[in-house]
Every structure is written in C-alpha cells, then in structure tokens.
Amino acid sequence: MAEGKWITGLTPEVPVAEAAGRVLAERFRLVRQYLPLAAGRAWEDAEFVHQLRVGTRRAGAALRVFASAFPRKHLKATKEALRALRRAAGGARDWDVFLAALPGSTAFRGPDAEPARDFLLGYAFGERTVAQAHLADAEARHGAEFRAAAEALLTRAHHTEGADAPATIGPLAIEQLGELMRELTDEAEANPTEPVDLHALRITAKRLRYAIEIFAACFPPFLKDTVYPAVERVQEVLGEVQDAAVGLDRLSDIRGRLGAALPTQMARVKPGLNELASELRAKIPAGREAFAAWRQQWLEMTSMFKLELTAATITG
C-alpha cells in the first residue's frame, strides 16, 4: 500500500516555491488521512500505523529538501508536530513487527518453547496496548497542532533570494541527490559491520530514497529504474539486521526483569527465549553477508550514475 509515494510532473523548470507547495501538500495529505485511522482504528489493520509512520517520514524528508522555501518559524512548528506523531507511530509499529514475527518463528516449534511463545505474545500485546495509548494521546495533543502548522506553512512557500538559491528545482535536485548519493557511497566505502553503523547507513539510504521519490521526473529513467531499487534493497537487508539487534536487546531486558521478578516462570520460558535469541543472533552475520554483496554492486554502480548525472544531465 505505497500510496502517494511518487511525486509526478516535477520537471526541472518548475519553480522551487511551486514544487515545495505541491510536494508538501501531497505528503501532508497522507499524514492527515492515516492519523485518525492509526490513532482510533489500529486494531482493525496494522497497516494504518505503518502508513502513518512512513507518511510522517516522507513529510519530514520533504521538509528537509525544501527547507529554504519556508519561513523558519512555521517550518520549525511543523517539524516538531510531525516528530511527535512519528515517534508515537514508531513505538506502536515496532511492537506490531515484533508481534507479527512470533507465530512463524522456528524458535517455537518444539514443545519446550511453547511457554516462551505464549509469554512473549502476551508481553508484546501488553506493550503494544500501551504504545497505542501513547499514539492516541499524541494524536490528541499534536494532531490539531500539525494540521494548523501544515496549513500555515503551505500558504507561505516563497523563493529564497540570494546568489546560491536556485529558482527552479533542476539545480536543487542535482544538489540534494548528489549530496545524498555521496553520503551513502562514503558510508558504504567505510564498510561498516556493527549493527549501529549499519543502521546509520540505512537511515542515509532512506533519506536518499525519499528524495528520489520527489525528484525522479527530473532525471533519466536510470535513477528510478536502477538506483532506486538498489536503495530499497539495502534498506530491506539492513532492516533485518536492525530488527534482530533490537529484538536481542528486548529479549535481554525481558529476561533480566522476568528472572528477577518471577524466577519460577523464568525457568519455564528460558528454553524458548534462548532459542529465539539464537535465531535472531544468526540474522546479523547473514545480514552482513547480504550487505557485502550489495556494497560491491553499489560501488560499481555509483560511478556509472555520476556519469549519467553529468553527461546525460537532467531531463528537459
């Protein structure tokens, strides 16, 4: 359900202020659409929370891209409201992912592991319920604030005066994508191996992905057809690593608290918890191997993309 992902019709000649208004209007529309669904009807469909989280991220990325086109005061207010909603949606989404992974985990196939599965399902559901209350509270506290700030922002798009300020989005697209491409390539060349560093690279990839979704129409098809899928791929690969690392941290916390508070129950669920920890731990080296293969392909491709950017230039 990747609704509203691509921004169409933004040719290089479109004025920056006009493009900023069009892009932000679409990004804000999706946040407004999914906010009440995620806050009030999340138990009906986990996709509501997922789309809200992604929508707030895409809106935040668009605000970064077009920051120079809006007054600082209104930009700050909109960013703060979006950040609060994104964090609340993120907390709920993380537990949705955790819950969804439990029933199909191979760690719980043996009879000795069933108590751990049932315990974790109950524990995660409780945490998810708390996260949903936080999301509903965030909607009540920041929903109207976001809608008012977004509306005020959209009426104030303007062209920034100055020798370095592009009037049309062609130069802005080259500047934004060029910077993000260099950043992602530099991080890939550094060859990170630790989950925290791999997660940082994944965040950079995510920012590049969202920028491509805005500016794709300004470039030859190579950007959308080849570069974009590669960026999606590393997000998927490193998402597995991050989920495993976060899951291991959660299991460690759960085992510590349960062992201290209910040692008898801990003895029942320990075998299953250990099996799940082993399963999650194995995903990290597997993810590193998949990243190494992606890294080689990416570094080979980036030099070709730079030639496309300078020789083929932008469309139009």
pLDDT digits (tens, 9 = 90+) for 128-168: 999 999 999 999 999 999 999 999 998 887 766 554 678 89
Over residues 279-283, mean pLDDT: 94
Residue 124 has pLDDT above 90, yes or no: yes
Predicted model pTM:
0.91
Distance CA 130, CA 190 (A): 39
Beta bridge partners of 168: 15
Quickly count: other Cβ atoms within 10 Å of residue 305's Cβ.
Answer: 21
CA distances to 51, 179, 180, 243, 253 from 205, rounded to whole Å, are: 19, 12, 8, 17, 30
Closest CA to 6 of 82, 62, 64: 62
With cut-offs at 50, 70 and 90, classify the pLDDT of residue 112: confident
Q: In 102-227, where does DSSP find H-type helix?
A: 114-154, 169-189, 195-215, 221-222
Distance CA 96, CA 278 (A): 21
Distance CA 112, CA 107 (A): 10
Residue 316 has pLDDT above 70, yes or no: no
Give the CA angle between residues 103, 86, 131 to the nearest 5°: 45
Over residues 200-229, mean pLDDT: 95
Write out the two tokens for 268: 């029942």
